Amino acid sequence: MCPPDIHFSRSVRNTKIMTRTEILGCYSFYRDADPVFKRELENASVAVKLRPGTDYFREGGQCRQVALIGRGSVRVFKKGETGREITLYYVLPGETCILSASCMLGESTYPANAVVDEETEAVVLDAGFFRNAVSTKEGVRKFVFDALSRKLVDVLALL
């Protein structure tokens, strides 16, 4: 189920919509998976299209899903008390938001905000399915920890 503040559209102007398998194909844990797990991923995923300016998540919100980006980008940022924003990182094709993944795995709320920066196509996986995949599939677990370490270095470079 998608959070109520995200509005998905399957219509695309002047571009072909990526299929679930095309988006999943951006991820090594899918490409390297056995046929049974590939089918499970395909069946568990929902292809979505996000318009620029759409809230991806808001600080304090609950994580009910994780998105795997196939095309486009999402800007993750923190808003200060004065209203000023600092961009923490961008989620690009072949990536997922590490804050989404960590909040989902830790069952905590989002500590920042994210907004769709440019027209984005992704597949969305339910939090329960993704938590199970991280705990049982080495390739998914490696993907999450590699993404976490890369983005942590990016965020630390801001300081």
Residue 7 lies in a domain: no
Residue 57 lies in a domain: yes
Residue 5 lies in a domain: no
The whole-chain average pLDDT of the chain stands at 88
Confidence at residue 46, expressed as pLDDT on a 0 to 100 scale: 95
Element (H, E) at 136: helix 127-136
pTM metric for this prediction: 0.84
Which of residues 116 and 151 earns the better pLDDT score?
116
Q: Which amino acid type is present at position 28?
A: S
144 Cβ neighbours under 8 A, 6+ residues apart: 96, 98, 101, 105, 134
Pair 94, 147: CB distance under 8 Å: no
Residue 39 lies in a domain: yes
CATH number of the domain encompassing residue 128: 2.60.120.10
Q: Which residues span the domain enclosing 106?
A: 20-157
How many domains, the chain?
1
Confidence of residue 68 (pLDDT cuts 50, 70, 90): very high
